[in-house]
Amino acid sequence: MRFFFHIAYQGQDYSGWQRQPDVKSVQEVLETTLSKILKVQTTIFGCGRTDAQVHASQYFFHADMEKECDFDLLYRLNKALPTNIAVYDIIKMDGKPHARFDAIHREYDYFIHTYKDPFLSNQSSLYLYPNLDLQKMSEAAKLLLKYKDFRPFCTHPDKNEHTLCQVSSTGIYVNTKGDRIRFNIASNRFLGKMIRIITGKLLKIAVGELSIDEFENHLITLEVPKILNPAYPIGLYLSKVKYPYLDLPPRTDFLSPTQSSDWLLI
């Protein structure tokens, strides 16, 4: 039997989603905990990779089990897992759907604050820029909708089968005080560090260190910039994943502008 697990995690204490030797990953913690509870070695398959220290306010993985549990697996998992990983739903699936390969929509949010706040330090990236030109930032972000090949915004483009992504929406949001910013982007897929590289470029545009024409020229020529300067990992969230057969609302919305009138779309 195949089950999909709907989860969220704070990533600041992990080397990323994927299991790696000699470092702590979200996948390793979940596989170890699930195997102990089920009393059988269990391998899980995630909907995608996230970098070290990157969060996921919505994430799915799948696992195969011989039979349904005769106990409350959801309760036992949440009790055994650390506080920075939560399991919201366990869904029995028909057939053999795949958490990674079947996903048709992925959405990320990148949060920035421009004043030092110890309570935001693990949730949002601090950039002490007093006067960001958010209109130019928004104008540049909208250009991403015009292009399909994102080779210039990938750390190792030649390691990919291709560098095509169907970006379906972008948005720059700001709070009413003007000191917190959110960059939202949705696509069918993303490349390695693509969102952090784009965010770094958008910040350079916002402070006048890069023009919008120079930014678009990367997308036209497909030349990889000599210096990529990705934005910090803290502040980036995988925030929405959709399947043709499964579309659940995120359970963690504490940073979402859709839940608060304090956020405005630029």
Tell me how far apart the alpha carbons of residues 26 and 107 are, in angstroms, rounded to a whole number.
Answer: 19
Helices (H), 55-193: 73-80, 134-143
CB 115 within 8 A of CB 244: no
Residue 242: which of 45, 6, 1 has the closest Cα? 6
Residue 192 structure tokens: 């390695």
Kindly provide the b/e burial profile for residues 72-110, where b requires at least 16 CB atoms within 10 angstroms of the residue's own CB.
ebeebbbeebeebbbbbebeebeeebebeebbebbbbbb
Residue 150 structure tokens: 């994102």
Catalytic residue among 22, 51, 70, 89: 51
Residue 240: which of 94, 77, 48 has the closest Cα? 48
149 is catalytic: no
Cite the active site residues: 51
